[in-house]
């Protein structure tokens, strides 16, 4: 399919006896903001790690820009990775580096020249409302600012496809709303494609073009925000309304 950037086909992944992904098929389409939702521990992070070659699926195939990458070697993935942005869950900054050094890191690793790096870092910090923080250390920043620096580090290399793994988890509702607004702004500004993991329904409804809901190793819903709001799918209802009772059996 032409407008699909990344496709996972029948992805299976187990850890020992535990079958986490039971044959997931997922497309990420050009310029969309796809939200991947589901309860904690359902396999959201494992899914994206499989999609970007950080974990190998037990079964299934992965295509990036219509080329099969399933059995790529680490060296072959090197060619693909510059096109991918990844904000890991927890998104830790290097706390012994300044904001500037943190954001410059992916460009330096790529061997870019200092002047070009400087220009790009200043540009992205400005876009993210972080002007003047260049010389601060992460522990001098608020939680929301740290997330924005982590976003800046993810986006500075202008990726074609950006994965954000729980970019707002642990933030207060107002900071979350601001980060969501920023994500929408960045999507427009860069015309880039996002796959965002969250378990925050409110946040998902604000930012998503399309939502997939993961549970029990399968995708139990795939649709737009409106479709999700109107859906009578029992998984959707339980998750959206945050109910203990329903088809999602979760042990606490």
Q: Which residues bind to ligand ADP, rule: CB under 6 A?
A: 15, 20, 38, 40-46
**Residue 42 near which of ligand ADP, Mg ion, none (CB within 5-8 Å, type-dependent):** ligand ADP
The nearest distance, CB 96 to ligand ADP, in angstroms, is: 27
The closest alpha carbon to 53, from 35, 30, 73, belongs to 73
Our CB check for Mg ion shows the closer of 98 and 162 to be 162
For residue 233, the partner it binds in Mg ion, ligand ADP, none, with Cβ less than 5 to 8 A by kind, is none
What is the residue-wise DSSP string for 8-70?
EEEEEEEETTEEEEEEEEEEEETT-EEEEE--TTSSHHHHHHHHTTSS--SEEEEEETTEE-T
Residue 187 interaction partner, one of Mg ion, ligand ADP, none, beta carbon < 5-8 Å per kind: none
Q: CB under 5 to 8 A by kind: which of ligand ADP, Mg ion, none does 158 bind?
A: none
Cβ 21 to ligand ADP, closest distance in Å?
9
What residue 38 binds from Mg ion, ligand ADP, none (CB within 5 to 8 A, per partner kind)? ligand ADP
34 has which bridge partners? 195, 210
Query: CB of 36: closest distance to ligand ADP in angstroms?
Result: 9
For tokens 């098929």, name the residue: 25
Query: CA–CA separation, 87 vs 91, rounded Å?
Result: 6
Pairing verdict, β 210-215 and 33-37 = parallel
Q: Is 45 in the site for Mg ion (CB under 5 A)?
A: yes
| Residue 232 to residue 219: CA distance in whole angstroms | 16
Q: Pick the stretch among 2-10, 58-66, 81-89, 200-208 that binds Mg ion (CB under 5 A).
A: 81-89
Contact residues: Mg ion, CB under 5 A: 44-45, 89
């Amino acid at each position: 399919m032409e407008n699909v950037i990344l496709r996972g086909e029948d992805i299976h992944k187990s850890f020992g006896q535990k079958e986490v992904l039971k044959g997931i098929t997922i497309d990420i389409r050009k310029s969309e903001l796809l939200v991947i939702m589901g309860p904690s521990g359902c396999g959201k992070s494992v899914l994206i790690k499989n999609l970007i070659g950080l974990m190998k699926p037990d079964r299934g195939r992965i295509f990036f820009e219509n080329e099969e990458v399933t059995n790529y070697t680490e060296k072959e993935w090197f060619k693909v990775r510059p096109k991918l942005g990844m904000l890991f869950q927890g998104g830790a900054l290097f706390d012994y580096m300044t904001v500037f050094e943190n954001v410059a890191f992916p460009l330096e690793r790529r061997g870019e020249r200092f002047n070009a790096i400087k220009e790009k870092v200043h540009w992205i910090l400005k876009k993210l409302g972080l002007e003047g923080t260049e010389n601060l250390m992460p522990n001098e920043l608020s939680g929301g600012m740290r997330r924005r620096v982590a976003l800046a580090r993810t986006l500075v290399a202008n990726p074609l496809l950006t994965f954000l793994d729980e970019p707002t988890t642990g933030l207060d509702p107002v900071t979350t709303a601001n980060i969501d607004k920023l994500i929408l702004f960045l999507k427009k500004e860069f015309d880039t494609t996002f796959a965002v993991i969250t378990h925050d329904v409110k946040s998902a409804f604000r930012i998503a073009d399309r939502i997939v809901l993961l549970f029990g190793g399968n995708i139990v819903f795939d649709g737009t925000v409106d479709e999700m709001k109107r859906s009578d799918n029992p998984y959707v209802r339980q998750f959206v309304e945050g109910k203990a009772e329903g088809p999602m059996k979760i042990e606490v």
